[in-house]
Amino acid sequence: MTKGKATAVASGRTIAETDEYEIVEGNIYFPPSSVNQSYLSKTDHSTHCPWKGDAAYYSINLDKTELKNAAWYYPEPKEKAKNIKDYVAFSLFFQSLHDATQYTKMDRGSEDPHGNYDDSNRAFLQALMGRGQITLEEGKKILAAIFTAQSNQDVNPAQVTKDDIDSYIAAAADALSPLDFEIRSTLHQQTKQRIYAVVNSISDPLTQMATTRTSEEMFYIKRLLDAMFETHNTKKSEVMAVTGMQALEKRVTKGSGRRDSEENSQLAVDKGVTGEQAEKLLAALVKEKWLEHSQKGYYKLSPRALMELRSWLVDAYNEETDDGDDDWQRIKFCEACKEIVTVGQRCANSNCNVRLHNICETAFWNSKPSKQCPTCNTAWEGKHYVGEKVITSKEEGLRRKRSAGAGAGASAKRSRAADEDEDEDEDEGQQDSGNRRRSRPGGDEDEQPNGQRRSSRRKTPEEEEDEEEEDEEEQEQEEEEEEEEDDENDD
- The residues near 36 (Cβ < 8 Å, ≥ 6 apart) are 14, 15, 16
What mean pLDDT do residues 59-79 have? 84
Residue 51 backbone phi and psi in degrees, to 5 = -110, -20
Q: Which of 99-108, 110-119, 165-174, 482-491 has the highest average model confidence (pLDDT)?
A: 165-174
Query: What pLDDT is stored for residue 36 in this prediction?
Result: 94
- The residues near 51 (Cβ < 8 Å, ≥ 6 apart) are 78, 80, 81, 108, 111, 112
Alpha-carbon distance of 279 to 253, in angstroms, equals: 10
pLDDT band (50, 70, 90) for residue 252: confident
Contact 340, 173 (CB under 8 A): no
For residue range 298-318, what is the model confidence (pLDDT) as tens digits?
999 999 999 989 988 999 999
In this prediction, what percent of the chain has a pLDDT beyond 70? 69
3-state helix/strand/coil string of the chain? CEEEEEEEEECCEEEEEEEEEEEECCEEEECHHHECHHHEEEEEEEEEECCCEEEEEEEEEECCEEEEEEEEEECCCCHHHHHHECCEEECCCCEEECCCCCCCCCCCHHHCCCCCCCHHHHHHHHHHHHHCEEEHHHHHHHHHHHHHHHHCCCCCHHHCCHHHHHHHHHHHHHHHHHHCEEEEEEECCCCCCEEEEEEECCCCCHHHHHHHCCHHHHHHHHHHHHHHHHHCECCCCECCCEEHHHHCCHHHHECCCCECCCCCCCCCECCECCHHHHHHHHHHHHHCCCEEECCCCEEEECHHHHHHHHHHHHHHHCCCCCCCCCCCCCCCEECCCCCECCCEEECCCCCCCCEECHHHHHHHHHCCCCCECCCCCCECCCCCEECCHHHHHHHHHHHHHHHHHHHHHHHHHHHHHHHHHHHHHHHHHHHHHHHHHCCCCCCCCEECCCCCEECCCCCCHHHHHHHHHHHHHHHHHHHHHHHHHHHHHHC
Query: What pLDDT is stored for residue 264 in this prediction?
Result: 43
Query: What pLDDT is stored for residue 294 in this prediction?
Result: 95
For residue range 133-159, what is the model confidence (pLDDT) as tens digits?
999 999 999 999 999 988 888 989 999
Query: Computed over its alpha carbons, how large is the radius of gyration of the chain?
Result: 35
28-29-35-38 Cα dihedral, nearest 10 degrees: 90
Alpha-carbon distance of 20 to 9, in angstroms, equals: 17
Q: How many CB atoms lie within 10 A of CB 56?
A: 18
pLDDT: which is higher, 133 or 413: 133
Query: What pLDDT is stored for residue 214 in this prediction?
Result: 81
* pLDDT(326) > 80: no
What mean pLDDT do residues 45-74 have? 82
Query: What pLDDT is stored for residue 414 in this prediction?
Result: 63
For residue range 274-293, what is the model confidence (pLDDT) as tens digits?
999 999 999 999 998 999 99
* pLDDT(105) > 50: no
* pLDDT(177) > 50: yes
Query: What pLDDT is stored for residue 28 in this prediction?
Result: 85
* pLDDT(261) > 70: no
* pLDDT(110) > 50: no
Alpha-carbon distance of 207 to 278, in angstroms, equals: 19
Query: What pLDDT is stored for residue 145 in this prediction?
Result: 93
Q: Rounded to a whole number, what is the largest CA-CA distance in the chain?
A: 133
Query: What pLDDT is stored for residue 467 in this prediction?
Result: 62
In this prediction, what percent of the chain has a pLDDT beyond 90? 41
Query: What pLDDT is stored for residue 5 in this prediction?
Result: 82
Query: What pLDDT is stored for residue 445 in this prediction?
Result: 46
What mean pLDDT do residues 241-255 have? 89
Q: Mean pLDDT of all residues in the chain?
A: 79
Query: What pLDDT is stored for residue 443 in this prediction?
Result: 46
